Structure 1
């Protein structure tokens, strides 16, 4: 089941209108082809209860929601901008507008990741500890890319090296402004670095096992901390501000021999010390002191250990606001053994799902157009997370091509939107509609409330959650796998 969109057509949703007292509105998606199909009904008092009864208890209050969204990688930006301009608009409106899913979270890689055309950072000039060569682009590459800007929809005639700086100036930044322009909700952006410049690393390579040289408090760590501040400075010059940064994407990846793409290794102890002595003070003493700091940003099986190490240290904990988790090893890290005890230990720190996609495991096909089960996997993960104190859920690439890329190490995966630039079309997959059942109806500030199933209902395979919205409406999301 897919919806095919182009420059002249794309399915839309009417802006949400709350029902009158005593009535409800239902939105349903199904394998048979329903796509957030709307219907209305009236609450009835029946003496004979149905088999399935979910009892709402709004006196029980749990975590508040930060939101839902996806990531604008280089690959996502290239794919979106490969479409005709009207189709680009349809895609952005599908994700961010009132007639779409109303995403409010956007994750942005800080320089390159595997979903780039090649590896780069913002300062690849060796031993530039003052970061005097730090730039999102330079004048030469800006001009070269600008000359080709009008041809973006017909394919890029640019080498990887020419494109590296231009990507952020000409791809991500305009897309961020366009997304914001169509969104009624305020967008919260957060950024994650994959690798530091190679001259700061023990490996002196973008890939493979490697950490920062030296130890916390030295020039290597100070330079890397200042790199975060410079990143925020440069984006601010383009009127882009960030809600948060993560200390590192998958810090354990850089502890693995021969890791195939960009990484930077930290143990929990190394991240604790880097935050306490370098990154925390650098952010706090900058004009970006309001930017929140998220630790871990890695698979949840590292919890609660990682949180204990960092947050039981007073010097580090005072700079930290939240904990980021990825879903790739959920099958060996049950949520009740990882996320739940972390929340119980540190209830004042939010937990946010910061990355998920399907197709990343060697046993999974990369792209399967129209796969309903992949939508089920998204909803199951989101429901499980929300019911265990997680404050939101971020998908990985907003859009990929038919192969599941581009990706410079061929680490292809699936995405809720797949772009066929040769035809000027994009496909909305079941994952897209599953995301919408959460993002559209559970806005930022909503609070999870009690929802208890009757004894008979517990015999079913239903999964469910309930939220009280800031406008006083209640949202119940039910998944029947």
Structure 2
């Protein structure tokens, strides 16, 4: 037995020796390198998988431009933001003299994707050549913004746990950098309940005036914490019902009596009280529009919204004899800008002409609402109003697609791009969108009125919201055009060097010169085909050309430094 055991042990030892494979010396180093490479590849795959998992949620994925896409059956897509990820706008950074930075958004692909381009000495043979006239700057830009309705407030605060992230999309340095905020004084159609600040009937001393029911007023301070230079614009929608001949806040109605009667003075005191009390809360309003859509309300059949009608002649007497002297005569409100009209572009010129029948020392600027049509009449009204009162600013203070939310709609984005380009090329100094944010149903609102907004909050998932194509369309302007920028004339040449002043065509254009001496050129291709463009930035000393391709249905913002002559 001992021998057998010994033999077996020896056999086992011999077996081990015979199977002890030795790697040749010359292969050891390459195999070690290969093993290290395999480990590195595995690590990269694991990291990529982790990042992809973080950026991928319920069927959407992050692309090169940072957008986490999701489709809702429209002709484009939204970008999804949640508690772990949200795309940002990459900064311009330092620009060399021969460089341009291009930001691109298209229906099919990108969302403010940043690209670097270089100028060249020879002009490419493209179908259009665009030249910006630096020598003849036009009007200045005051800024861009949105409206803090009650519904916007609810979606930004009550129905989400991403309030700070949402606010940064609008007012932050990596967002679209709004610097204006329209604030309704009281409820609008986009409120959950109807209210004013003095609903006790026949309180002629306004002793019960209170901001208590208006949750959005203290919230404004959170917005100002992101940008303390935001211009606040208050807007009246309706007087308390007991001041109106309809006895109701909802529906048009008019102030009782004539402009010489007590109710016009009471409404004036009501608005001034609003400015005084918000001032005690640390809010200094830059401007006030005393009444929203007063002319439209004369013929409106809308009985579901806070409204108040006033004729052009009554507006003239109200502004010149009551509201203007009272506001400018009050030491706390004398510096607040009075913004007049707050109605459709088509009625602007007639209303302004009526206002100035006996002169007016109180108006600081005008405001118009957009229907995205930009008819010849509306454009001519802007031009003629500017020519009539060139020292007064013009603001576009309401743009909205009512009805369907249409998440991912490129048409809505294209409407905004076209409207901003047309407005700013025709003497509009600032552009304010309507609701900052709404939910997937386009609310909440009074009596189920719905609309779209540039950001849609998921009311069923408080940790998610969607940035619409229109958000990026507006951002192509608001992020890159700071206050104080000057609009510049544009000329377009074809290949035969025939020069024409810019008129809207398949490529819509807007150019400005910023206070930092950059040129910002926004191009909008409204067609479903590619366009090749040349930007001519030549001076007397140097030839500089930039080749720009425009994808179908796309917007591009091109930024370059002004070249010293």
Q: Same fold (TM over 0.5)?
A: yes
Contact 2:348/2:368 (CA < 8 Å) preserved in 1?
no
CA shift, 1:83, in A, is: 4.4
In the alignment, which of 315, 321, 333 is matched to residue 271 of structure 1?
A: 315
The corresponding residue for 2:87 is: 11
In the alignment, which of 366, 388, 394 is matched to residue 345 of structure 1?
A: 388
Q: In structure 2, the residue corresponding to 1:108 is in which secondary structure?
A: strand
Aligned equivalents of 2:96 and 2:293: distance in 1?
A: 46
**Stretch of structure 1 that moved more, 399-408 or 212-221:** 212-221
Aligned equivalents of 1:34 and 1:236: distance in 2?
A: 43
Aligned equivalents of 2:481 and 2:123: distance in 1?
A: 32
The corresponding residue for 1:90 is: 165
With the length of structure 2 as denominator, give the TM-score of the two structures. Answer: 0.75
Question: Is 1:77 the counterpart of 2:120 in the alignment?
Answer: no
The corresponding residue for 1:308 is: 353
With the length of structure 1 as denominator, give the TM-score of the two structures. Answer: 0.88
Contact 2:217/2:278 (CA < 8 Å) preserved in 1?
no
Q: Deviations over 1:48-83 (max 9, x none)?
A: 443221111111121100111100000000011134
Question: Is 1:178 the counterpart of 2:260 in the alignment?
Answer: no
Q: In structure 2, the residue corresponding to 1:61 is in which secondary structure?
A: coil
In the alignment, which of 452, 455, 479 is matched to residue 440 of structure 1?
A: 479
Unaligned runs of 5+ in 2: 1-76, 527-565
* Total equivalences in the alignment: 441
CA shift, 1:332, in A, is: 5.7
The corresponding residue for 2:516 is: 471
Contact 1:370/1:429 (CA < 8 Å) preserved in 2?
yes
CA shift, 1:455, in A, is: 3.2
Aligned equivalents of 2:279 and 2:92: distance in 1?
A: 33
Q: Deviations over 1:355-399 (max 9, x none)?
A: 0111x2xxxx51101111110000000000011111111110000
CA shift, 1:421, in A, is: 2.4
CA shift, 1:203, in A, is: 1.1
The corresponding residue for 2:461 is: 423
The corresponding residue for 2:437 is: 399
**Does the C-alpha gap of structure 1 residues 50 and 227 become closer, same or farther in structure 2, counting only changes over 3 Å?**
same
Contact 2:290/2:340 (CA < 8 Å) preserved in 1?
yes
Unaligned runs of 5+ in 1: 138-164
**Does the C-alpha gap of structure 1 residues 52 and 420 become closer, same or farther in structure 2, counting only changes over 3 Å?**
same
CA shift, 1:18, in A, is: 4.2
**Does the C-alpha gap of structure 1 residues 250 and 50 become closer, same or farther in structure 2, counting only changes over 3 Å?**
same
Aligned equivalents of 1:217 and 1:196: distance in 2?
A: 17
**Does the C-alpha gap of structure 1 residues 210 and 171 become closer, same or farther in structure 2, counting only changes over 3 Å?**
closer
Q: What does 1:233-248 align with in structure 2 at a 5 Å threshold?
A: 233-248=276-291
Q: What does 1:145-294 align with in structure 2 at a 5 Å threshold?
A: 165=213, 168=214, 170-174=215-219, 176-183=220-227, 186-256=229-299, 258-260=301-303, 261-286=305-330, 287-294=332-339
Q: In structure 1, the residue corresponding to 2:429 is in which secondary structure?
A: strand
CA shift, 1:431, in A, is: 0.3
The corresponding residue for 2:102 is: 26
Aligned equivalents of 1:313 and 1:403: distance in 2?
A: 47
Contact 1:253/1:264 (CA < 8 Å) preserved in 2?
no
Aligned equivalents of 1:101 and 1:208: distance in 2?
A: 35
The corresponding residue for 1:156 is: none
Larger radius of gyration: 2
Q: What does 1:58-73 align with in structure 2 at a 5 Å threshold?
A: 58-73=134-149
